[in-house]
Amino acid sequence: MELVKVGVIGIGNMGSSHVQLLDKGQIEGAMLTAICSSNESRIEWVKSHTKGNVQIFGDEETFFNESGIDAVLIATPHYSHPELAKKAFAKGIHVLIEKPAGVYTKNVLEMNEAAKVNGKVFGIMYNQRANPLYQKLHDLIHSGELGEMKRTNWIVTDIYRSQSYYDSSKWRATWKGEGGGVLLNQALHHLDIWQWTTGYMPNRIRATSSVGKYHDIEVEDDITAYVEYDNGATGVFITSTGEAPGTNRFEIIGDRGKIVVENEELTFYQLTQSEREFNKAYKGGFGQPEWKKIDIPVKSENANHPMIIQNWIDSIRKGSPLLAPGEEGVKALDIANAMYLSSWLNETVELPVDPNYYFEKLQEKISTSTFEKKNVTNTLLNVKGTH
């Protein structure tokens, strides 16, 4: 395939950004040939911000049936990702979905099944996997240099949001509109990077979330979760949009040392021997294994959306392996769903969560919601610099 004909559906904050990337020819081997949006002002924006050879569709059926696209980038609101992806697969169209994969695992698993049956290239915009910082972390852990994992700790509070952010759209931070708060929107990348870099999914989660703690919203803006892993390791994940200035500090302890990722720097405290072996052999009472501090200079790059799109296009054209296969979108979502469920039930929850049970519980949240936003401004936000 010479040039992949790409369509973009959903022209919000992220979709607009993708449209410009494609239209300006910044993705090699891809061209923007169609968009789909039901919002007139966004359609006007596309018309005035693209070269003019982009087909405009107002409804998704016509978009998928008549646009002639090879591949679609789905940047609609969260809930619709699985349904739209399934429609695209049914038409033999390659798919790149914005994160999250969906809001609940039930239909995300269906989407994954459809992708498998269809065999098209299916990616997810886990752009942080393209961040050299996390790639290095992933490699250090997977190479075995850190040894058997003992504990993880990630404090993610550098994602401050003011009330005006939440007020920018009616659907933001509602159960019906987004299906969650900070976990599903700001911290989902971190949930993915947490499991992807360590190679471990938690098997049990105990979480406490605070709904509307710092903002007038009906979903959580603050959460602390304790997790356990199959190998006996434990972990803590903390996130909040109400702290300033925030922290982003990820610590992973293994049998051969500790890695700390903070301030966009990676530091490896490397033991000269296994701690477990030292523990057995040492006879001196106080004392600990020798170690050295290794500063690993890696330039952190947050704005890696083009890399993920390029990787997806390369996979379509040349069969290159995907950095973020769409099927893996369910993992971070499963962690998020387990944290919600644990908070709602005030119980420890085992993973994976029961997809049907979680779906039911979420429907309860939506159907019993009486929350009304006081001051919706309908503002399109500039996402530059966010993840």
Name the site residues for a second copy (rule: CB under 8 A): 150-151, 153, 155, 157, 160-165, 168, 206, 208, 210, 213-215, 222, 224, 226, 228, 232, 234, 236, 238, 240, 242-247, 249, 251, 253, 257-258, 260, 269, 271, 275-276, 278-280, 282-289, 291, 379, 381-383, 385-386
71-74 vs 149-156, strand pairing mode: unpaired
Question: Rounded to an integer, what is the distance from CA 312 to the centroid of its chain?
Answer: 16
Counting other chains too, the contacts that 19-24 makes at CB distance below 8 Å and 24 or more residues apart are: 19/46, 19/49, 19/50, 19/54, 20/49, 21/305, 21/306, 21/309, 22/73, 22/309, 23/49, 23/50, 23/51, 23/54
CA angle 351, 386, 59 (to 5 degrees): 80
Nearer to a second copy, 100 or 254 (CB): 254
Q: Using only C-alpha atoms, what is the Rg of the chain? A: 22
**Smallest gap, in angstroms, from Cβ of residue 12 to a second copy?**
13
Q: Which is nearer to a second copy, 164 or 356 (CB)?
A: 164
109/261 with CB nearer a second copy: 261
Spatial separation of the C-alpha atoms in residues 5 and 12, rounded to whole Å: 21
Among residues 12 and 329, whose Cβ is nearest to a second copy?
12
In the complex with a second copy, which residue's Cβ is closer, 165 or 344? 165
Q: Are 21 and 31 in contact (CB under 8 A)?
A: no
CB of 218 to a second copy, least distance (A): 17
Shortest Cβ distance from residue 376 to a second copy (Å)? Answer: 13
Q: Write out the DSSP string of 303-330.
A: --HHHHHHHHHHHHHH-PPPSSBGGGHH
Tokens of 164: 């005006």
- Token pair of 294 as six digits: 């290794």
Looking at the Cβ atoms of 136 and 215, the one nearer to a second copy is 215
Name the residue type at position 137: L
Give the 3-state secondary structure of residue 11: coil
Residues 105/309, Cβ–Cβ less than 8 Å: no
According to DSSP, residue 5 is labeled: E
Q: How far is the CB of 160 from a second copy (least distance, A)?
A: 4
Dihedral angle at the C-alpha atoms of 292, 295, 296, 297, nearest 10 degrees? -160
CB of 284 to a second copy, least distance (A): 6
Min separation Cβ 257 and a second copy, Å: 7
State in angstroms the smallest separation of the CB of 198 from a second copy. 16
Burial track 226-244 (b if 16+ CB lie within 10 A, e otherwise):
bbbbeeebebebbbbbbbe
**Which CB atom, from 119 or from 284, has the smaller least distance to a second copy?**
284
Nearest distance from C-beta of residue 268 to a second copy, angstroms:
11
Q: Please report how close the Cβ of residue 240 comes to a second copy at its closest, in angstroms.
A: 7
- C-beta of 240 vs 337, nearer to a second copy: 240
Kindly tell me which of 135 and 247 has the beta carbon lying closer to a second copy. Answer: 247
